[in-house]
Amino acid sequence: MSRRARTRTPRDSAVEARYIVMPQHANDLGIAFGGTIMSWIDMVAAMVAQRHCGRKVVTVSIDRLSFLAPCHIGDHVLLRSSANYVGRTSMEVGVQVLKECPYTGERVRATTAYLTFVALDRREKPTPIPPIHPETPDELRRFENARLRVAARKELLRRLTRGVSS
């Protein structure tokens, strides 16, 4: 059976990670640097992509990040990530970032990110990856939303590169 033929569900490759915001992660206001949160997002999403396709992957893009709530020194940061959509050689991985108070357990969404990864073969060229089979209503919703984002990204790229010579 080819690597492409092994259909996977989002839960097969989902990853959840936790970090605590330490002083070295924060600015002079005690708020986590956006770049630190972005690096955690990229690492967790890459793990999902690797688990889904069983190959090396590279980050191709990260959609716009809007920080909705600050993560302060001492806050726990919970990252929940899963594959949303799979094309032939690329996939979208979603990451939800929650800040959690370590004393009360109260959670607030800090941001959500969508990353695109490409799977690589032994020669580090794009290679086909297994399709995804969403099962739950939430997985189906994320799949459909991702399909729309993928189409929008492709259309934007087409418009931006129209008339640009190589």
Q: What is the CATH number of the domain that holds 75?
A: 3.10.129.10
Q: Is residue 100 part of a domain?
A: yes
Domain range spanning residue 13? 8-161
Q: Is residue 3 part of a domain?
A: no
Q: Is residue 126 part of a domain?
A: yes
pLDDT tens per residue across span 111-162: 999 999 999 999 999 999 999 999 999 999 999 999 999 999 989 889 998 8
Q: How many domains does the chain have?
A: 1
Q: Is residue 2 part of a domain?
A: no
Q: By C-alpha distance, which of 34, 154, 27, 18 is closest to 98?
A: 18
Distance CA 133, CA 100 (A): 31
pTM to 2 decimal places: 0.91
Asked if residues 19 and 44 have their Cβ atoms less than 8 Å apart, the reply is: no
Q: Is residue 80 part of a domain?
A: yes
Residue indicated by tokens 């070295």: 24
Q: Is residue 1 part of a domain?
A: no
Q: Is 100 helix (H, G, I), strand (E, B) or coil?
A: strand
What one-letter code names the amino acid at 146?
Answer: A
pLDDT tens per residue across span 56-86: 999 999 998 899 999 999 999 999 999 999 9
Q: Is residue 39 part of a domain?
A: yes
Cα 100 → chain centroid = 20
CA atoms within 13 A of residue 110's CA, in its CB half-sphere:
25
Q: Is residue 103 part of a domain?
A: yes
